[in-house]
Amino acid sequence: MHWALLFLAVFLITGPAHAEPIPYSPETATELGPEEQRLQAERHLQREPPDVVEARRWLESAADSGSVEAMGEVGWLYEQGLGVEPDAGKALEYYREAYEAGENEYGLRIGWMYVQGIGVEPDRGAAETWFQRVIEERDDSAARLALASLLVSDAMAGVRPERGSEARDLLVQALEDGETDAALYLAQMYMEGVGNLPADPESAVHYARIGAEAGHPDMQAWLASLHARGEFVSQDLVEAHKWASLAASGGNQPGEQMRQQIAAELSDAELNEARRRAFEWLSDR
């Protein structure tokens, strides 16, 4: 997300700034365009140690001059209290401006601030309103995924169980639009049954496979477990080892444990075949 890029730059930039940063002043700012002002902010962040206060001044000026990226970045500064006292009101103001300027992600950021109560009172209604707004105004499937996650939570808690099917419809659309994280929610919903959505193991496995093929370690580990037990799929220890190995390579600890356990039950030929399948999957990505 753009709102995080500024701070990734602070920690990941390895070389020195190309030019000495200019101290902020309103007079100097009037002589520079919005992106040049943003560049001055970045140069202050490239200092050792980073001068977040000066960077914030330049970013505010750049945002006021129309830089959409600066709007999101200075909003993050106010949200996190970096170089300034935390001020959720100002963060929301800058995020709204960035959203209105066309950056959908900041509408989502506002929604998550209300969900998590970051500097504001938690307000699920306000969060849903923002996610729905981004969906309706921008046809954004990241917003569909965000809204669906709230609906799933409600349905699983027994609050408004009818929201289960509404969440499913949002997730299916999000998945069709390329939001592969939606497969994780769909697999879980169909495996357990959520709200008014009945359990459907066949559909659960279908979406688990989509998630695994998309590279999600949790879904890879789950698919490995299903193949190891022969639950809802054919028992296949070679295929189970393949998926467990891939899950483990993605940092999934249960996947690593399964990989070791399954390996002990395979012949050398079967183990080589499992490794070949995992390598083939990696090569095709």
Q: What is the pLDDT of residue 159?
A: 84
Q: Where are the extended beta strands (E) located within the chain?
A: none
Structure-token pair, residue 282: 């990696």
Q: How confident is the model at residue 20 (pLDDT cuts 50, 70, 90)?
A: confident
d(CA 196, CA 209): 24
Residue 151: partners with Cβ closer than 8 Å, 6 or more residues away: 163, 164, 166, 167, 170
**Residue recorded with tokens 């709204």:** 96
Terminal-residue alpha carbon distance, the chain:
23
Question: Cβ atoms within 10 A of the Cβ of 17, count?
Answer: 15
CB 145 within 8 A of CB 160: no
In one letter, which amino acid is 162? E
Determine phi and psi for 197, rounding to 5 degrees. Answer: -100, 115
Q: Express each pLDDT in 78-123 by its tens digit.
A: 999 998 999 999 999 999 999 999 999 999 999 999 999 999 999 9
Structure-token pair, residue 268: 């050398």
CB 241 within 8 A of CB 224: yes
Alpha-carbon Rg for the chain in angstroms: 24
Q: Express each pLDDT in 126-149 by its tens digit.
A: 999 999 999 999 999 999 999 999
What residue segments make up the domains of the chain, in order of their start?
Answer: 1-100+111-118, 130-136+145-155+164-214, 217-285
- CA distances, 177 to each of 4, 53, 56 (Å): 24, 40, 36
In one letter, which amino acid is 62? A
